[in-house]
Amino acid sequence: MDQNVNFPDPTDRPSMEASRNSVLRIRDRERKLIFKIQEALQRLDNGEYGICEQCGEEIGIERLKARPVTTLCISCKSSQEIEERKTKRVV
């Protein structure tokens, strides 16, 4: 049995840190996605699923297919993204 198999070369540490960080990032993204899915299921229960949070219009079926957890129609989403970009530029 090769004991070294479970103990990677210490010089490999930076890349281990990097992959650890990316695992944490992925986990964080998954947590947020799970939360969004739970919200979407709740909206399904309330009969609010597929309705834009902002303008109350129906979100297009194509958009729901592409992003089932979205709460904004395409036009509200794009204006939100424009606003976000503006804020980031100020900061």
The answer to whether 52 and 59 have CB atoms below 8 angstroms apart is: yes
Contact status: 76 vs Zn ion (CB under 5 A): yes
Which of 40, 52, 70, 71 is close enough to bind Zn ion by CB under 5 A? 52
Residue 78: CB minimum distance to Zn ion, A:
10
- Mark the segment that binds Zn ion (CB under 5 A) among 19-27, 52-60, 61-69, 83-91: 52-60
Does position 83 bind Zn ion by CB under 5 A? Answer: no
- What φ, ψ does residue 51 adopt, rounded to 5°? -105, 130
Written as six digits, the tokens of 8 are 């990677």
71-72-73-78 Cα dihedral, nearest 10 degrees: -150
Binding site for Zn ion (CB under 5 A): 52, 54-55, 73, 76
